[in-house]
Structure 1
Amino acid sequence: MTTIGLNRLPTSLVSVLLVGLPLIIVSESIHLGYYVKLVLLHAGMVSLVAFALLRKYPWHRSRIALPAILLLFVTTISIVESINRVESVVVIGHRFSLLITILLVPSLLDRRAMTNTLKVLGLVTGLTSAIGIAQYAGWAGLGIPTSGLPSSTFGYRNNAAAFTIAVIPFIIAELFRQSSTTLRAGWGLVLFLNTSFLVATRTRAAWAACLVSLVVCLALWGWEWKQAPRVRPGALTGALLTTGLAILCAGIFAVTVPPSMNRRGYDRSNEEKTTVVSTIASTFEPGADKDRFDMWANTLQMIADNPLLGVGAGNWQYSYPSYDRGEAISVIGTPRRPHNDYLWIAAESGITGLLIAVWLGLAIAGAARRVFTSGRDQDTSLVATAALSSIVAIACHACFSFPLERVPVTFVAALSLAVIARLDPQSRTTSMRPLVSLGLACLIALFSTVIAWRAVRFDRMALHQVVSVDRRDWAGGVTHGSAALGWGVFDPQIYLL
């Protein structure tokens, strides 16, 4: 391979992850792609770290790095409080790979390469949204594994919505970057697909989070335009018209095309979400919180009982039953997460972890402020605005859902942090490479890959157990459950027959 080809390898690896993480899904699985997406993420990090070891690159240092490292450190030491340390290892491995992304991508990818990878992200989400729209309308894709349509390749509609709102700011940025009417129209089509799919998911928290992120995006862009207009008035008018037309067409689609999912989505289990208007109205109906308020109150008590290190990474689901008084637990199963990532962090990593997460948020805000006040060019400004808006969307959605668990969403978040770190004018580069740290990181990423693969095998056998139990084949349920446990205790529900 030529030197130029080698230098492009990190960009290609990141692009592969941006394509694979949203699209990969397996049928014989309870968690519908969660573990196999982790395998791909970890394998990608092994490749990135190995490349950083073999090739000499200037090491990029950012103020975002320290709180990100400390947050992982606190999450890791919380394992001493864990009931199930297998689950802790899975969670820690996931967050370790995200940390590698934040630390390595600014060093291995320049600004142009980052912009190119974000184009890939926008195009991929156009495909996933088209699949989701086809499912919603009953045109195609109904055979893709899912726990609730329309979900595209994400396994559940809420997961799809979380990914979509994280990417929409980058699509708008690309639309505004285009000077060609044809390319602008193409990105307008991608925006229409994403907006239509987001509306089709009927995910209220994602709608609100997307609205907040778009307000932030427009406010930042308006402020920058006022400081120093960088786009020709004609081009700006064309971009605004294309954006408005895409959103208008998405609204028309939502009103004129009804859901037709063969009763495999909310048309069966949540009929109040059949229309957009009824979905919004259902927000104010009794029980609209879906037991969230009860889980949050119980989680606060859990935090009060375990304030320092929490109950251990990934172990909220094991500790929660003793705090529940029949509000959320049923004979079907127990909750896996509290539907609020901030309470989740505090419960599993203690108040210390939550405070470091707040520090990380402040560091991100500070880095973004420095980028916006440094007088960068139009492209840099648009990419930075999109990255911050994406983080805002994910952070807002985290108040009512669990994007922290979703592999594609967290990778987009880590990539957004890497973009801001790369553009921060106070970031520094050094020729000294932490070879020992990189070698250790490569081994940890490889170990995480093996663990995630074992989880894939566990998940497959766990599904066979569920099928056996549904058929009242108790012997088969015990056999498949025992086989699953041979790979590790990756899900406590395996003990329920």
Structure 2
Amino acid sequence: GLAQAWLDWSGPGPLIAPPAGPWFNRNVAAQALLLLVPLAVSAALGREMRRPGRWLPLACGGVGVMLLVATRSRGGGVAALVGWGLALGLVMLGRLRRAAPWTGLRAWFGPAALLGACGVVAALVPVAGVQPLPGVGRVVGMTLEPVSGGTMEIRRALWANTGAMIAEHPWSGVGAGRWNVVYPLYQRRVRPTPGFGLDKQPRHAHNEVLEFAAELGLPGVALLLSLLAVALGRLVGSAWRGDGGAGLRLAGLGAVAVHGLVSFPLHSPGTAALFWLVAGTALRPGEDRQPRRRRGGRFAAVALAVLLLVLAVLGGWLVRGDLGARRHLARAVSAAETGRCAEALREADEVWKASCHRDHRGRAAAVVWACEKDPAASLAFLEPALAAFPHRLELLLDTGARWIKAGRLDRAEGAYRHALELEPDLGRAWLGLAMTLERQGRLQSARNACQRAWSIEPSPPVRAFCGGLGAWE
């Protein structure tokens, strides 16, 4: 990540928004580092860690702080200040209540100085690249500006429309992981989502409480928040008693929770898994408390070990398939972009076999649409993808075009009309509807659709088709 930030290193694969290191983009990297840095410092200060070995986790924490600053993530910076600051402040207040408040704090001075120095260095070094990120001073200024316009305006629309989604599905929600599938139906319900269209469809609500409430329903999110509240409450109690390790775990969880108010850390698999693992450690019995031995303890331990083994095998199989699908998908996209359609179709077929992920199959279907000209062969991919994402605009348009070629005009008309329900100012949808109506013999309706397409997007395809139809007469 630092090589991407300072040396403009592209890395082994395409980057969405560097510097990101191994993560999807720089904001996802920031939300993971909010938890990883406190855990690294906690490992360094643990009683079982010998003095020479403490420098390795401290070095990891220092590099994490440098990358966090280099990401220039406003949400990550605010979450670090609030989450880390409140948790460590609680530890300090708890120690001040003790008879010898400064006992044991000497071990904290070196790590604190090291992390602070790393942050200062990262703030002074500019971020390189074709589109260099602003300096830390500008980022702070942007953070303190009134929250209006830009990404904040998009978030307000996402939150308002997600509220409408919750109001219609308060008890059962729309289903785990289905917010981005259903959101196109709500993208204009309360406030129009700025920039929504073919090239930009949101994947998350950028507020974890609202997104979980929409997916799981109000009872589900209440149970989830109750579990988290119990874990955080135990860590708060331990931190108040001066437990530095608990304070650092609380700092990481608190920072991620704060970031979750404007982002999606608990919908990012790596961050979410580590978050709930750390939260689970707070729910275990205290180390000073000796649990009573119960009958059947050995059987329970064996059953748990077998369950974990089964989950590990299943997880390994899923991860293997996911990684393979990503490789095949990257090759398919690259081959399609360079005109090697035979290779692209083979790789897209491998994606379909290797992955059950809706997004992977949707992108593979887009490759098939670009390369496969036989309607029946392309619809074998497009129709299942559309069933998984029935409200995705590009899939509606692509599948509608293939239905026209296959002569299934009723289904093509339904696809285009549904796309126009989601986005009324979509020129391609009006043109596709005009083509469908023309083949059905409804010429006047086709001319009206042509005129609407021309008023939105006066492109050469619209001129060529609609001119022959006599739409301008």
Task: Please indicate the TM-score interval, normalised by the length of the shorter structure.
Answer: 0.5 to 0.7
SS of residue in 2 equivalent to 1:400 = coil
Match of 2:185 in 1: 322
Match of 1:420 in 2: 282
Return the letter of the residue paired with 1:133. L
Which one has the largest radius of gyration? 2
What is the aligned counterpart of 1:294 among 144, 152, 157?
Answer: 157
Say whether 1:304 aligns with 2:167.
Answer: yes
Contact 2:238 2:247 in 1 (8 A): no
CA RMSD of aligned residues (A): 3.4
TM-score normalised according to structure 2 size: 0.64
Match of 1:481 in 2: 348
Q: CA deviation at 1:187?
A: 6.3
Match of 2:246 in 1: 384
Match of 2:139 in 1: 279
- Structure 2: 5+ residue stretches without partners: 370-473
Contact 2:4 2:11 in 1 (8 A): yes
Relative to structure 1, the CA distance from residue 243 to residue 338 in structure 2 (aligned partners, 3 Å threshold; closer, same or farther) is: same
**Larger RCO (CA within 8 A; separation ≥ 6):** 1
Relative to structure 1, the CA distance from residue 241 to residue 287 in structure 2 (aligned partners, 3 Å threshold; closer, same or farther) is: same
Tell me, in whole angstroms, the C-alpha distance in 1 between the residues paired with 2:292 and 2:329.
Answer: 47
Tell me, in whole angstroms, the C-alpha distance in 1 between the residues paired with 2:265 and 2:72.
Answer: 16
Return the letter of the residue paired with 1:150. P
CA offsets 1:412-431 (integer angstroms, 9 cap, x no match):
32332233223547795654
Contact 2:153 2:194 in 1 (8 A): no
Tell me, in whole angstroms, the C-alpha distance in 1 between the residues paired with 2:83 and 2:339.
Answer: 48
CA offsets 1:54-97 (integer angstroms, 9 cap, x no match):
xxxxxxxxxxxxxxxxxxxxxxxxxxxxxxxxxxxxxxxxxxxx
> Number of aligned pairs?
351
Q: Counterparts of 1:47-446 in structure 2 under 5 Å?
A: 132-138=1-7, 142-143=11-12, 145-173=14-42, 189-228=59-98, 236-237=105-106, 239-240=108-109, 242-244=111-113, 246-255=115-124, 257-261=125-129, 263=130, 267=132, 273-283=133-143, 284=145, 286-289=149-152, 291-325=154-188, 327-372=194-239, 381-422=243-284, 424=286, 428=291, 430-431=293-294, 432=297, 433-434=299-300, 436=303, 439-440=306-307, 442-446=309-313
Return the letter of the residue paired with 2:269. V
Return the letter of the residue paired with 1:368. L
Tell me, in whole angstroms, the C-alpha distance in 1 between the residues paired with 2:274 and 2:121.
Answer: 29
Contact 1:295 1:338 in 2 (8 A): yes
- Structure 1: 5+ residue stretches without partners: 1-131, 268-272
Q: CA deviation at 1:279?
A: 2.0
Return the letter of the residue paired with 1:137. W
Return the letter of the residue paired with 1:393. A
Contact 2:18 2:25 in 1 (8 A): yes
Return the letter of the residue paired with 2:25. Y
What is the aligned counterpart of 1:447 among 314, 321, 329?
Answer: 314
Contact 1:387 1:419 in 2 (8 A): no
Relative to structure 1, the CA distance from residue 301 to residue 454 in structure 2 (aligned partners, 3 Å threshold; closer, same or farther) is: same
Relative to structure 1, the CA distance from residue 314 to residue 236 in structure 2 (aligned partners, 3 Å threshold; closer, same or farther) is: same
Tell me, in whole angstroms, the C-alpha distance in 2 between the residues paired with 1:309 and 1:137.
Answer: 47
Tell me, in whole angstroms, the C-alpha distance in 2 between the residues paired with 1:236 and 1:437.
Answer: 40
Say whether 1:490 aligns with 2:352.
Answer: no
Identical pairs, percent: 23
Contact 1:188 1:243 in 2 (8 A): no
SS of residue in 2 equivalent to 1:339 = coil
TM-score normalised according to structure 1 size: 0.61
